[in-house]
Structure 1
Amino acid sequence: MKKLLILIIIFAVLVLGYWVYQDSELKKEKEVNQLIDDAHQSLNIIDSHPNKFIFNNEVKVFPAHSSNRFIAKSSEL
């Protein structure tokens, strides 16, 4: 009887652990999907304003001081 009870408890812990894992993965997926949707909305807002377009000849690239990355500056911003 004790062995059966121990097996049931181990099984319950494994099922609960798997359920918690799946729940956390689902929350992460929802968060990523929300970020993607927000990015698409932002891009749609930017694309809908043709006056905010930056032409290639107006963009200047300067090296950043603290790293090897570059910063783009425009007179339109």
Structure 2
Amino acid sequence: MINKVLIVLCVSIVFVLGYWAYLETQNKRHQELMRIIQEAEKNLQTIERNPNRVSHSNLASYNLQKYISDKKVFF
């Protein structure tokens, strides 16, 4: 009888520890994802605040159009 109780207790402890490790891993993944999102938002705000952003994006668009017209590429 005592052996059965010890087996059930050991299995329960292993299950609880495994579940705790799973939750800890999920929490770490969530924190890492939130850190990446916050860093991306910060970088996006920095890019949007750049006064030269519009002129650079227009220049890139102009260069792409010039390249396409020079190569006679049609879509």
- Work out whether the TM-score is over 0.5: yes
| Number of aligned residue pairs | 62
RMSD of Structure 2 on Structure 1 (CA) = 1.9
Q: 1:37 to 1:14 in 2, by over 3 A?
A: same
Runs of 4+ in 1 over 3 A off after TM superposition: none
Q: What is the rounded CA distance, in whole Å, between the counterparts of 1:46 and 1:14 in structure 2?
A: 48
Question: Per chain length, whose mean CA-contact separation is higher, i.e. which structure has more relative contact order (CA < 8 Å, sep 6+)?
Answer: 1
Amino acid across the alignment from 1:38: E
Q: Give the C-alpha shift of residue 51 in structure 1.
A: 1.1
Query: What TM-score do you get using the length of structure 1 for normalisation?
Result: 0.72
Higher strand share: 1
Question: What percentage of residue pairs aligned between the two structures are identical?
Answer: 29
Where in structure 2 are there 5+ consecutive unaligned residues?
Answer: 68-75
Q: Which has more radius of gyration?
A: 2
Higher helix share: 2
Where in structure 1 are there 5+ consecutive unaligned residues?
Answer: 63-77
Give the 5 Å matches for 1:1-77: 1-53=2-54, 54-55=57-58, 57-60=61-64
